[in-house]
């Protein structure tokens, strides 16, 4: 189990981790005078579950926004699948195969669960405006094909009974699950989860953990997640990046991170004597 | 008699994404079509055509167009009257410049020209939202009306400043001009409306419609899942303006026959059509029809009731009619903010169990 091996390695529980999928090199992000992120580098390998943790205001969400193209960093490079990524609009990033969920749910409230998840496949649907307008041949066939894929995800996340319900009527936990379904529908190479368990009760958290592990296991999706629940993070993730005040203070397996004195200081405070 | 589904027994996804998944609804739709095409043309007279059917059909086209933009894509527009004027003046210029080309092609071309103008005035929507966009489209309304008033080329230098539709025929039947019969007017508008409604339904149930609704419900999330806001918003503006342009062309050429821009396509037209889609139901094809029917039929009904039945003076009735329609709109919106389409949906939900609620 050599984690430095560029070709990849096999984890203790038998999952294959591939080569580097995404690499952040010396990322710095400023808002005016506020330094949100200072000179952070880390990589995400194919097939792994990578967590980004840190106290409030550490710059975790900013980091995720850099990855998903919302923020363009002032310094640094983002490499994805072996290519350097120039400044891009978020919808272009989505087409590269990066999907995400949001900390405070960003679903389309006026649409049904099914339609919400179908929107996740927009980047994969190719039929043109006129074919759509006529609903002949390609448009209808495509709709059915993608519907089949979406139904698989619906089965997978166990949300069959609500597929025709408008999202606005659903409880919080289910909304989170639908949002995950929408992100999954895009068949992403890299899935970003911004606090997938925020505000959930224990049972919902367990469900969500199970889904995250299953997604990684079954679809082989690489996952980068931000989470505050340490127990969850340490159990789920293969490697963890720890941020504090916009800087990286730790990076490694959960065990390495747990014993890192800087991390302990950031979370528990340090005695000044 | 009113039967609804008791469960989901469909066996293919194509079945599930039909427009009318329930057979009863489908039959009712065929019945309405049969009456509209097979019965009404034989009984329609000038009064019914001019007071009820033709304005309803034309306003339904305009309401469909605005509903695509506002109801589905979430971009508020107060420029509907102006865009209808573009359609009207475009069809007028085309009719007078190319008298030999079919009027149907002219009407569609007028829609195309309006689509281009719509895209132009839709560009600000990439930067501004909500009320601010409404004000920007309001500017379009006033600018377009001013333009058609001030530049004589648009009304072919006619002394009155009006435009009037010359006679044009389809298959030997006059559909514009003074000699048009009521059934011809009615059928011409009906065919265009049915075709456009069918296209609108197809557009809104597929990928394009989902993109629009995604932008409407949460534009940031839409962008993150790969929706290009530029092309999506502009496509909504283009298609919506096409519908409104066609409606404007028909309103002038078939319904009015002669028009003066400020009077026929002023700001009150924009509000009228906005009211239609709000009352009918935003984001619903059926709502566009219901709203147009409500706004066209209500004044006619009230007039018949007040003047015809109760024998009031016409001027008194006309004023009261405005007040009653206004009050009805307010009451309606308080009772059901999501419009008549929502009432219809609720009624269907209720009918699922009625009359045996257990």
| B110-149 residue pLDDT tens | 999 999 999 999 998 888 888 899 999 999 999 999 999 9
CA separation for the pair B264, B241 (Å, rounded): 17
Asked if the structure places residue A37 within a domain, the reply is yes
Q: Note whether A86 and A203 are same-domain residues.
A: yes
Model confidence at A86, pLDDT cuts 50, 70, 90, reads confident
Asked if B217 lies within 8 A of A139 by C-beta distance, the reply is no
Q: Note whether A211 and A86 are same-domain residues.
A: yes
Q: Which of A106, A127, A180 should be substituted to probe chain B, the one whose Cβ sees the most B Cβ atoms within 10 Å?
A: A106
Nearest-CA distance from B96 to chain A in Å? 30
C-alpha pair distances (Å), A237 with each of A44, A222, A232, A240, A256: 12, 11, 8, 7, 12
| Domain end among A169, A187, A205 | A187
Give the pLDDT score at B112: 96
Contact between residue A183 and residue A196 where contact means Cβ atoms under 8 Å apart: no
CA B98, distance to chain mean position in Å, is 27
Q: Could you tell me which chain A residue has the CA closest to the CA of B212? A: A119
Q: Note whether A182 and A195 are same-domain residues.
A: no
What is the rounded average pLDDT for all residues in chain A? 86
| Domain end among A187, A214, A246 | A187
CA separation for the pair A67, A7 (Å, rounded): 23
Give the pLDDT score at B5: 65
Asked if B224 lies within 8 A of A106 by C-beta distance, the reply is yes
Sign of the C-alpha dihedral computed for residues A59, A65, A66 and A67 taken in this order: positive
Asked if A106 lies within 8 A of B220 by C-beta distance, the reply is yes
Nearest-CA distance from B128 to chain A in Å? 18
C-alpha pair distances (Å), B267 with each of A49, A112, B143, B294: 57, 35, 11, 20
CB neighbours of A195 closer than 8 A, spacing ≥ 6? A103, A226, A227, A228
Q: Where are the domains positioned within chain B?
A: 41-266
| A123-139 residue pLDDT tens | 888 777 777 777 777 77
| B219-247 residue pLDDT tens | 888 988 889 999 999 999 999 999 999 99
- Count of structural domains, chain A: 2
Q: Which of B224, B229, B281 should be substituted to probe chain A, the one whose Cβ sees the most A Cβ atoms within 10 Å?
A: B224
Asked if the structure places residue A118 within a domain, the reply is yes
Local confidence pLDDT in tens for the 358 residues of chain B: 456 666 667 777 777 777 777 777 788 889 999 998 988 888 888 888 888 999 999 999 999 999 999 999 999 999 999 999 999 999 999 999 998 889 999 999 999 999 999 999 999 888 888 889 999 999 999 999 999 999 989 988 888 888 888 888 888 888 888 888 888 999 999 999 999 999 999 999 888 999 999 999 988 889 888 899 999 999 999 999 999 999 999 999 999 988 888 889 999 999 999 989 988 888 889 999 999 999 998 888 888 888 888 888 888 888 888 888 888 888 877 888 788 888 888 887 777 777 776 6
| B317-332 residue pLDDT tens | 888 888 888 888 888 7
Q: What is the pLDDT averaged over residues A260-266?
A: 84
Asked if the structure places residue A129 within a domain, the reply is yes
On the question of pLDDT at A33 being above 90, the answer is no
Give the pLDDT score at B357: 66
| Domain end among A187, A220, A238 | A187
- Please classify residue A202 by burial: count the beta carbons closer than 10 Å to its beta carbon, then call 0-12 exposed, 13-18 middle and 19+ buried: exposed
Give the pLDDT score at A4: 61
Contact between residue B165 and residue B110 where contact means Cβ atoms under 8 Å apart: no
Q: Note whether A15 and A47 are same-domain residues.
A: yes
Asked if A148 lies within 8 A of B213 by C-beta distance, the reply is no
Asked if the structure places residue A107 within a domain, the reply is no
| A189-207 residue pLDDT tens | 999 999 888 888 888 889 8
What is the span of the domain harbouring residue A159?
112-187
């Amino acid at each position: 189990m050599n984690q430095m091996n560029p070709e990849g390695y096999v984890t203790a529980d038998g999952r294959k981790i591939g080569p580097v999928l995404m690499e952040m090199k010396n990322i710095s992000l400023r808002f005016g005078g506020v330094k949100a992120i200072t000179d952070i580098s880390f990589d995400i390998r194919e097939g792994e579950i990578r967590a980004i943790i840190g106290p409030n205001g550490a710059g975790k969400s900013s980091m995720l926004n850099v990855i998903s193209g919302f923020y363009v960093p002032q310094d640094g490079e983002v490499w994805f699948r072996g290519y350097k990524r120039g400044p891009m609009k978020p919808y272009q990033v989505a087409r590269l195969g990066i999907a995400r969920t949001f900390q405070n749910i960003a679903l389309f409230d006026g649409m049904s669960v099914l339609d919400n998840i179908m929107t996740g496949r927009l980047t994969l649907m190719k039929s043109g405006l006129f074919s759509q307008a006529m609903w002949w041949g390609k448009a209808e066939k495509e709709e059915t094909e993608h519907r089949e894929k979406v139904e698989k995800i619906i089965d997978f996340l166990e949300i069959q009974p609500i597929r025709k319900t408008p999202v606005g009527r659903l409880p919080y936990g289910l909304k989170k699950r639908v949002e995950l379904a929408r992100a999954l529908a895009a068949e992403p190479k890299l899935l970003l989860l911004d606090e997938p368990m925020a505000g959930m009760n224990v049972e919902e958290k367990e469900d969500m953990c199970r889904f995250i592990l299953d997604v990684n296991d079954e679809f082989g999706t690489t996952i980068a997640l931000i989470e505050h629940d340490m127990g969850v993070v340490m159990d789920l993730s293969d490697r963890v990046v720890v941020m504090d005040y916009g800087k990286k203070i730790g990076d490694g397996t959960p065990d390495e991170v747990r014993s890192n004195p800087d991390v302990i200081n950031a979370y528990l405070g340090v005695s000044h004597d | 008699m009113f039967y609804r589904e008791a469960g989901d027994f469909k066996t293919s996804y194509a079945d599930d994404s039909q427009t009318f998944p329930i057979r009863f609804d489908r039959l009712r739709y065929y019945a309405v079509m049969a009456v509209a095409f097979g019965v009404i043309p034989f009984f329609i007279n000038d009064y019914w055509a001019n007071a009820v059917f033709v304005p309803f059909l034309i306003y339904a086209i305009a309401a469909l167009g605005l509903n695509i933009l506002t109801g589905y894509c979430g971009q508020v527009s107060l420029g509907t009257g102006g865009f209808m004027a573009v359609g009207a003046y475009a069809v007028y210029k085309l009719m007078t410049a190319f008298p030999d080309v079919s009027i149907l092609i002219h009407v569609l071309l007028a829609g195309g020209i309006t689509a281009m103008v719509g895209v132009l005035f839709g560009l600000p929507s990439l930067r501004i939202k909500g009320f601010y966009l409404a004000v920007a489209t309001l500017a379009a309304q006033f600018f377009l009306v001013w333009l058609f008033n001030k530049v004589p080329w648009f009304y072919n230098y006619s002394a009155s400043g009006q435009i009037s539709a010359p006679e044009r025929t389809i298959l030997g039947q006059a559909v514009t001009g003074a000699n048009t019969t009521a059934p011809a007017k009615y059928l011409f508008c009906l065919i265009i409306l049915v075709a456009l409604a069918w296209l609108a339904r197809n557009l809104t149930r597929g990928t394009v419609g989902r993109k629009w609704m995604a932008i409407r419900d949460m534009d940031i999330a839409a962008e993150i899942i790969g929706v290009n806001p530029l092309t999506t918003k502009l496509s909504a503006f283009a298609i919506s303006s096409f519908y409104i342009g066609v409606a404007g062309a028909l309103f002038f050429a078939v319904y009015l026959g002669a028009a003066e821009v400020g009077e026929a396509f002023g700001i009150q037209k924009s509000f009228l059509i906005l009211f239609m889609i709000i009352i009918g139901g935003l984001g619903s094809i059926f709502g566009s029809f219901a709203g147009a029917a409500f706004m066209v039929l209500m004044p006619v009904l009230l007039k018949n009731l007040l003047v015809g039945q109760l024998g009031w003076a016409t001027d008194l009735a006309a004023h009261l009619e405005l007040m009653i329609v206004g009050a009805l709109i307010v009451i309606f919106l308080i009772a059901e903010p999501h419009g008549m389409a929502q009432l219809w949906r609720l009624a269907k939900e209720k009918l699922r169990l009625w009359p045996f609620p257990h």
